[in-house]
A and B are shown apart, each in its own frame.
Chain A
Amino acid sequence: MHNKTIIQLAQGLRSGEFSSVELTQAFLKRIKRHQKLNTYITISEDSALRNAKAADVRLANGNPELLTGIPIAQKDIFCTEGVKTTCGSKMLDNFIAPYNATVVENFNQAGAVLLGKLNMDEFAMGSSNETSYYGPVKNPWDMNTVPGGSSGGSASAVAARLAVAATGTDTGGSIRQPAALCGITGLKPTYGRVSRYGMIAYASSLDQGGPMTRSVEDAAIMLQTMAGFDEKDSTSVDLPVPDYSAGLNNSIAGLKIGLPKEFFGDGLNSDVAAALETAVNEYRKLGAEIREIAMPNLNLAIPAYYVIAPAECSANLSRFDGVRYGYRCENPADLTDLYTRSRGEGFGKEVKRRILMGTYALSAGYYDAYYIKAQKIRRLISEDFKNALAQVDVVMGPVSPTTAFGIGEKIGNPIEMYLSDIYTIAINLAGVPAISIPAGFVKDKPVGLQIIGNYFAEDRLLNIAHRYQQVTDWHLQPPKGFE
């Protein structure tokens, strides 16, 4: 059952081959069997079975939706009413969210079954899932390597078939990079396409939720439920949501693909480069036209990002002060002590590093040199994408310079870790959508191909990615031990 696609499962539920309760139980069993992956922070067994039962009733009584009765999991950054929502932090270890994120609400409406909450880098700050208060997540392809981050729990769980599909969030690559490292499909939609309401903010002008699935076909179904205008989010965009599954099989003959030379330089591992070349060739066979393009400002994406994201996060995380919810230190001597100790004890090292960085960048005398400068560079990078996407339909490139690296390998060196996001960060700065799909293996570890499209062209991206999955089977291969 756990290898089936959403459509196959929906058919099975409708034909009576299995019930949602049985399906849910099967996944709960797998989750428990594979706990050493450390993908789930919270397994909501009771409510999952309750919801599965309700889904079975809905399936029997008519008007079910495609996701009714399908067991999925949420990244633990989305608030789930009555269910612990930790954001991977000690700060929220005791936080039972009193309301649902819009994304969660959408899945509830659809009748999807929530299996539990997935591990992640603390407050989505990290590229390896090692900053989680709940310990590192392991990559099912190699238990000694990281699954990537920050949505590492989501990627690992989907790859290991511990959920049919999962949600993730992407601020600088947090959906795409773990998807690539775990050999699954991950889509970061256009900024404003998926509501941020109830998604605990890291960097508000960059954060975007999206689906993490085994196939593009499943991603289209998940996105259909996640996307849409939300009046509770001022940055949500009021545009109609197209039918993402309708055009999946459209021909891509004549598609113009741009390969930025900045994406294929020295930093890229040569084996990964070779795998990508094969993938691009596959597109050529499908009738696409490939050309090299230039995006001259991409090399400044990392410094600009590491000003903007920490600046926004330094303010976003001020609300965690031990007063209204979350961790509070023991016996605070006075108000300052309450703040400094609750925050000092509740936040981990990477979170603190970014809060300090952001506080510094915004402080008197440095604002123009860092923050304004970074925003100007953000404009230039965004222009690079606009120019590129005026010449070609999509831009393709790597997701990560290497395949999954070892647990503990980079965590001691924050800058080296930051540099591993080199191919994903610029996309968030511009706000355009991008998808990562499995494109082969290097030494038995998955490689991801990134496809970047124009604003609100998710349907086109899904179509292009799906055509590739019809002629390759990388996305169908399960990790050893998780078949």
Chain B
Amino acid sequence: MSLTTDEVKKIAHLARLGIDEQDVESYARDLSGILELMARMNELNTDGIEPMAHPMDQVQRLRDDVVTERDNREKFQTIAPQVEAGLYLVPKVIE
């Protein structure tokens, strides 16, 4: 199984990840190699095995419905690239 450069570009777009045109080829090569490595999983029949999402066989703990957080906007926005009137600014969103 190998990935084409077009597929790499498609995935990169899905992940909103800019990659240089001259690197696409090498990504395709690396990823194809990794896919080959992954293909080794197929050596093993796993029919009927329950997928394991988590190392701990536990259930979710629930939090009481109480407000514990105070307004920290100023602190949080000092590290923001662009803010105005308390809002985070981004290029125009077109719907």
A residues near B (Cβ < 8 Å) are 94-96, 98, 191-192, 205-206, 231, 234-235, 237-238, 297, 299-300, 302-304, 306-307, 314, 318, 321-326, 328, 332-341, 343-345, 347, 349, 352-353, 355-357, 359-361, 363, 370, 372-380, 382, 414-415, 418, 429-431
Which residue of A322, A337, A382, A418 is within 8 Å of B55 (Cβ)?
A382
Say whether B14 faces chain A, with CB atoms less than 8 Å apart: yes
**Smallest CB-CB separation from B77: which chain A residue?**
A324
**What residues of chain A lie closer than 8 Å to B13, measured between beta carbons?**
340
Say whether B17 faces chain A, with CB atoms less than 8 Å apart: yes
Say whether B18 faces chain A, with CB atoms less than 8 Å apart: yes
A431 to B91 alpha-carbon distance, docked (Å):
43
Say whether B56 faces chain A, with CB atoms less than 8 Å apart: yes
**Smallest CB-CB separation from A353: which chain B residue?**
B30
Chain A contact residues, majority secondary structure: helix
Say whether B75 faces chain A, with CB atoms less than 8 Å apart: yes
**What residues of chain B lie closer than 8 Å to A382, measured between beta carbons?**
52, 55
Q: List 21 A-B contacts (CB under 8 A).
A: A98-B72, A231-B61, A238-B61, A323-B80, A323-B88, A324-B80, A326-B81, A332-B91, A334-B91, A340-B13, A344-B17, A360-B3, A363-B11, A373-B41, A373-B42, A373-B46, A375-B51, A376-B49, A377-B41, A415-B30, A431-B55
The reply to whether A234 and B61 form a contact with Cβ atoms under 8 Å apart is yes
The reply to whether A235 and B51 form a contact with Cβ atoms under 8 Å apart is no
- Measured between C-beta atoms, what is the minimum distance from A15 to chain B in Å? 41
Total A-B pairs, Cβ < 8 A: 163
The reply to whether B46 and A380 form a contact with Cβ atoms under 8 Å apart is yes
- Measured between C-beta atoms, what is the minimum distance from B62 to chain A in Å? 9
The reply to whether B41 and A415 form a contact with Cβ atoms under 8 Å apart is no
A414 to B29 alpha-carbon distance, docked (Å):
11
The reply to whether B88 and A352 form a contact with Cβ atoms under 8 Å apart is no
Which residue of B38, B52, B53, B58 is within 8 Å of A307 (Cβ)?
B38
**What residues of chain A lie closer than 8 Å to B58, measured between beta carbons?**
237
How many of chain B's residues touch chain A, expressed as a range? 35 or more
- Measured between C-beta atoms, what is the minimum distance from A298 to chain B in Å? 12
A205-B54, A344-B19 known; A300-B40 Cβ under 8 A: yes
A248 to B17 alpha-carbon distance, docked (Å):
49
The reply to whether A328 and B81 form a contact with Cβ atoms under 8 Å apart is yes
**What residues of chain A lie closer than 8 Å to B20, measured between beta carbons?**
344
Which residue of B18, B49, B78, B93 is within 8 Å of A340 (Cβ)?
B18
Say whether B79 faces chain A, with CB atoms less than 8 Å apart: yes
The reply to whether A191 and B56 form a contact with Cβ atoms under 8 Å apart is yes
Which residue of B15, B34, B49 is within 8 Å of A355 (Cβ)?
B15
A304 to B62 alpha-carbon distance, docked (Å):
31
Say whether B50 faces chain A, with CB atoms less than 8 Å apart: yes
A297-B44, A338-B91, A379-B49 known; A235-B56 Cβ under 8 A: yes
The reply to whether A95 and B79 form a contact with Cβ atoms under 8 Å apart is yes
- Measured between C-beta atoms, what is the minimum distance from B89 to chain A in Å? 9
A304 to B40 alpha-carbon distance, docked (Å):
9
A333 to B17 alpha-carbon distance, docked (Å):
15
- Measured between C-beta atoms, what is the minimum distance from A409 to chain B in Å? 17
A359 to B10 alpha-carbon distance, docked (Å):
10
**What residues of chain A lie closer than 8 Å to B38, measured between beta carbons?**
303, 306-307, 361, 370, 374
A306-B38, A379-B49, A415-B37 known; A325-B79 Cβ under 8 A: yes
The reply to whether A323 and B90 form a contact with Cβ atoms under 8 Å apart is yes
**Smallest CB-CB separation from B45: which chain A residue?**
A376
Which residue of A344, A360, A375 is within 8 Å of B31 (Cβ)?
A360
A98-B79, A379-B50, A431-B56 known; A300-B33 Cβ under 8 A: no
**What residues of chain A lie closer than 8 Å to B27, measured between beta carbons?**
352-353, 356
For the complex with contacts A306-B37, A345-B18, A360-B11, 7 further pairs of A-B residues with Cβ separation under 8 Å are A205-B54, A318-B15, A323-B90, A352-B27, A380-B49, A382-B52, A418-B34
A435 to B21 alpha-carbon distance, docked (Å):
43
